[in-house]
Amino acid sequence: MTAVLGISGLSVEFALPGAVVHAVRGAELSVGQGEVVALVGESGSGKSVTAAAVLGLLPRAARITGGSIRFGGTELVGLQDRQLNVYRGAGIGMIFQNPVTSLDPSFPIGSQLGDTARLHLRVSRAQARGVARTWLARVGIQDADRVLRAYPHELSGGMRQRVMIALASLSGPELLIADEPTTALDATVQRQVLDLLLGLAAETGTAVLLITHDFGVVSHTSSRVAVMREGTIVEEGSTAQVLTAPEHPYTRTLIDSVPEIGGRSARASPRPAPVDEPILELRHVGKDFDLGGFGTGRQKSVVRAVQDVSLSVHRGEIFGLIGESGSGKSTLARLAGGLIPRTAGTVAFDGTEIGESGTRELRRRFQYVFQDAATALNPRLTAGEQIARPLSRLGKAAGRKDARERALRALELVGLDAGHAGRYPREFSGGQRQRVGIARAIALEPDLLILDEPTSALDVSTQAAVLRLLLELKAELDLTYVVIGHDLAIIESLSDRIGVLSRGSLVETFETDELFSPQRHPQTRALLDAVLPIHSGRAGTGRDSSGREREAS
Amino acid sequence: MLQRILWRLAGLVPLLFVISLLVFFIAQAGPADPIKDALSQKMSPEQIEQIRAAYGLDRPAWAQYLNWLKDVFTHGGGLSLSVRSPVSEIVLPAFGNTLILIAGATAATVVLGAGIGYLSGIRHGKLTDRIVMLGVQIGSNLPVYWFGLVVIWLTAVQWKWLPPGGMHDLRGEGGAGDLLLHLIAPAFAASLVSMLIIARFVRAAVIESAQSDYLRTYRSQGFGRAAILGKHIGRNILSPIVNITGLTVGSVLTGVVFVETIFSWPGIGSVLLNAIAGSDYPVIQSGILLVATTFVLVNLITDVLLDLLNPRLRRGGA
Amino acid sequence: MTTATANPPRLRRSAVARFVRNREAMLGLLVLAVVVLVSLAAPLLAPADPTTGDPADVLAPIGAPGHLLGTDAQGRDVLSRVLHGGRGALAVSVSSVAVAVVLGTALGLFGAFAGRRVSGLLMRVVDLLFAFPVILVALSLAAIVQPGVWVLIGTVVFGAVPYVTRVVFAEAKIEREKEYVEAARALGASGTGILFGEVLPNLVSSVVIYGTSLVGVNIVFTASLSALGLGIQPPAADWGRMISEGAAVLVTGNPGVATFPAVAVLLVALSFNWLGDGLRDVLDP
């Protein structure tokens, strides 16, 4: 197979104030004609930098210090912008991660597509409009005429990414580079967009270099995969082989870190059966948000974020709450603890009904761990202070000294040590920060912990360690968890029972073992179908696992 | 859209009411008795009382306010205490002259400010950018008054390119060209502060736009540098430019007042300064009311323009 | 227990080092220290009385015996006047900006944490005041209380409060949405506890930075106001006043009378700018 793209010995440096970072060190990679290659790695591995280097789109601080990038027969390294423009778009198209910011907010979609068409296809303004319309239809957009006139902010995330695909494809490039094209999208949309991308590529014989951190995406899309770590490719081979029999220990760790759907039975530790005694009971809980109105210049409108949710969580269990973005799951979590006032319904904690805002005793026994520890910790307070303050405030510690000792104990419980107490949040890594967040919650010796997407800001290997820690702590401290998430595999691997939220309503709750039961609600089945398993064979029962349909939707 | 504009217009009413109250308050709170100050000590207390009654100064405050407001609307705010002519005859022509200077200074602000900022922004980090930014830093810390003096000294005394002051050549018959010639130096001097504010903003906007994800998209498609810099950055920094221009009108006006005396420009600034020196409250009040109202209107126009430029509002916003 | 991954390097201890390494910031600090000392010690340092002139020795050139920087149109020693001339401006700018910073911070925090209507109305008013021509305020104040120091103070406070309020409001709104505020609520902190214990510490650095630059801006601004005759009154020596008094002789071969005070203003204002920029590097890395 002739290579469309050949990268060899590529090195990229970032000159930061006071330090030089070697983001890519001697990367080797090739993409054959019509081939789909996945480049996979954790954040900071240099995969996106590699992709940006191909088209000369590196940030200002970065420069290529060595190696070669060959497109067809041409060496791209060392070309000036003007010379690179010959290949940009026409030869190599690029799709970026964030469709919200990657489209120009000031021009309608039709104008952005039309400009590209006129540049590459040398057509008239009117013809360009026709090309744009045709391509919108090809990427599965029904009302092309409305979308042509629409501005980016008027489209949904999935629609915008379809537009991006059209934008990158319409000039007929030989190679498409897609940098995390679905990371910002919901699971159900992710699959549609990936299938669309693969379908178009197959139709036109375009090769695809897909950058991702998700082995499910790798498995679903690629025929060959390269694993990147700290700027070098550590393993490369056919997707089937790398996923089933990884050679490099790092690849193996990464793959083993990802919870697989249907893998729950394989989990080692059996759990004590939960006591049949509700610790948290929600009855017909609802929340409306007012938008617009006086002073905002917009007409007033009401958004029902949560409506009529009733559920109970039993002492000692892990209750998983899953839903797509905007389903109201985080709002529901905040309503349960009285962090925001509810507009309807009642909440009872351990038999006592709680008012609109919680009491001190409730606060201590009912704790939260938030999604992004980078913002959930106050940047101006040391880790020790963050943990100790609420201890004194809520009367858990007898004095300053006691609070400090308890804080240190909590840090040790989460795998950090006393030396970390004096550090500020930005002096920790992402995983360590989340551990501090967990320590802050468990130091109060709560009964119930709400974990709002506790690992979604973390890399897979860190995520696995944090999940393990959470399970250990639960056993050790006799806790009850409510875990909120969008990743069905994680929720399934953790939870005893699962509730599915959709558009503010709880569509159903069920025992986790019954996830694959045929009686599941269509919304649950949609979430299940959207999962991209790493090992198709190991997927659960009762679902279609062919997973590689290649028709455009 | 129309509804938005109407709402904004409606919002003006309470605003203008508050402004008029504050302006009315100036005379009430002034330490000096305007009549006693303005008319010499030759009069007896009875005569002064008569004059006070004639001006309505013996009535309750709210009645005086209404009376004053009526005066403002009918003949510009009464009689000047020092010159004994109607206030409107003093204030209006002066304000007209100031408006000419404001227009010139605003033009200089936008054109030079945006130009400097754009140049600096597209050369971000290069030598040009550093030199320009050093100039901007020094310029924005210069006292405007002194800067005006230097401008006169250079343009009129050293190089003899421009007239040293005034609005018209006294010997010639005037005309638009003559006015323009007299306008250049004071407009430039008055725009110093606001011009550099705009330059900084435009530079920041250009840099932000140049580093944005959507610009990377255009670059990834092979658009040339010229097309990207002109059309796309240009369109995306247009709103910030209009916005900041609206915000700097206040500082343009401040600059204009600072340079009017230096350039002997017969504008509202000089009138107000003289009126303050002579405690001529009718002139002070009408002058300030006029300028404040104009400012509020300019603000309104900026807001409407911004609404029109914002694709999020152009459709279905109201 | 699982052990956490390797620690990233510590950043904190280098804060002072970063400031010292920042050449502009150090220069700014140095100049300001000198200016403050000179202003305080002006009566001791000045070779002549800044307010009484020698009618026989008017407009002496630069370097004239006994008058290093020459004399003005009334025969007063320019050097002595420059040494004295910063006292009023510095005191007025620093104190009024301090008042404005406190008021603006309070208003901005209030706006960010008040209900939507109150906050919307407040910020609408602040936006309007932000763009308001401050010269009108100076003129109105001069009409009410007569030209003088109080006109300067009132004008600076009026001009700076909306500015600080906007900065604080914008930043407090961002902070308010961060999860640590919600976390604090979940950890039992009260509304005021969150405001002062959690959010305010995160705003202090920007307030200090903006406040520092504002002092510089207002030194320049008050100089122009005094030059117009609205501020510090003769015969007191003041940089702004000196500029306008030197205006008449600037074009007639004695540029020093107006230019030395202008350069003094420029230098002090630049120093505040540099100091602000340096503080930004140190406090917001």
Contact across the interface for A375 and C180, Cβ inside 8 Å = yes
Query: Chain C interface, mutation test: which of B145, B251, B281, B291, most C Cβ atoms within 10 Å?
Result: B145
CA distances from B177 to B102, B181, B183, B266 (A): 17, 6, 10, 18
Chains interfacing with A (3 or more CB pairs < 8 Å): B, C
pLDDT, tens digit, for every residue of C32-81?
999 999 999 888 888 888 887 777 777 777 777 777 788 887 888 888 88
| Angle CA A208–A211–A217, to nearest 5 | 85
Is the pLDDT at A542 greater than 50? The verdict is: no
Chains interfacing with C (3 or more CB pairs < 8 Å): A, B
| DSSP secondary structure of C114-136 | S-HHHHHHHHHHHHHHHHS-HHH
CB of A94 within 8 Å of a chain B CB? The answer is yes
Contact across the interface for C247 and B262, Cβ inside 8 Å = yes
pLDDT, tens digit, for every residue of A432-451?
999 999 999 999 999 999 99
Least confident residue range of A295-299, A519-523, B47-51, C277-281? A295-299
| Confidence at residue B28, expressed as pLDDT on a 0 to 100 scale | 76
| Confidence at residue C267, expressed as pLDDT on a 0 to 100 scale | 94
Chains interfacing with B (3 or more CB pairs < 8 Å): A, C
For residue B220, the chain A residues in CB contact (below 8 A) are: 55, 57, 88-89, 93-94, 96, 168
Q: What is the mean pLDDT of chain B?
A: 83
Residues B146 and B203: beta-carbon distance below 8 Å? no
pLDDT, tens digit, for every residue of A394-427?
888 888 889 999 999 999 999 898 888 988 888 8
| DSSP secondary structure of A332-379 | HHHHHTTSS--SEEEEEETTEE--SS--HHHHHHEEEE-S-HHHHS-T
Supply the ipTM of this predicted assembly. 0.84
Amino acid at site B204: A
CB of B230 within 8 Å of a chain A CB? The answer is no
Q: What is the pTM of this model?
A: 0.82
Residues A151 and A110: beta-carbon distance below 8 Å? no
CB of A104 within 8 Å of a chain B CB? The answer is yes
| DSSP secondary structure of B82-146 | TT-SBHHHHHHHHHHHHHHHHHHHHHHHHHHHHHHHHHHHHTTTSHHHHHHHHHHHHHTTS-HHH
* CB contact burial C123-133 (16+ within 10 A = b; e otherwise): bebbbbbbbbb
For residue B260, the chain C residues in CB contact (below 8 A) are: none
Query: Chain B interface, mutation test: which of A49, A58, A85, A104, most B Cβ atoms within 10 Å?
Result: A104
Of A82, A89, A106, the CB nearest to B221: A89
Residue A548: count of CB within 10 angstroms of its CB: 11
How far C194 CA sits from the closest chain B CA (Å)? 33
| Confidence at residue A483, expressed as pLDDT on a 0 to 100 scale | 94
pLDDT, tens digit, for every residue of A257-306?
888 887 665 444 455 566 678 889 999 999 988 776 554 555 677 888 89
Is the pLDDT at B316 greater than 50? The verdict is: no
Task: In whole angstroms, give the CA distance from residue A99 to residue A163.
Answer: 9
| Confidence at residue B240, expressed as pLDDT on a 0 to 100 scale | 81
Nearest-CA residue of chain A relative to C205?
A: A380
Is the pLDDT at A109 greater than 80? The verdict is: yes
- SS3 annotation, B185-214: HHHHHHCHHHHHHHHHHHHHHHHHHHCCHH
Amino acid at site A447: D
Q: Count interface pairs A-C at CB distance under 8 A.
A: 107
Of B29, B273, B288, the CB nearest to C229: B273
Of A81, A84, A106, the CB nearest to B235: A106
Nearest-CA residue of chain A relative to C183?
A: A376
CB of C116 within 8 Å of a chain A CB? The answer is yes
Contact across the interface for C201 and A378, Cβ inside 8 Å = yes
CB of B308 within 8 Å of a chain A CB? The answer is no
State the average pLDDT over residues A363-369.
89
How far B237 CA sits from the closest chain A CA (Å)? 10
How far A279 CA sits from the closest chain C CA (Å)? 18
Least confident residue range of A144-148, A348-352, B260-264, C104-108? A348-352
For residue A377, the chain C residues in CB contact (below 8 A) are: 180, 183
Q: Is A245 helix (H, G, I), strand (E, B) or coil?
A: coil
pLDDT, tens digit, for every residue of C230-280?
988 888 889 998 898 888 787 777 888 889 999 999 999 999 999 988 888
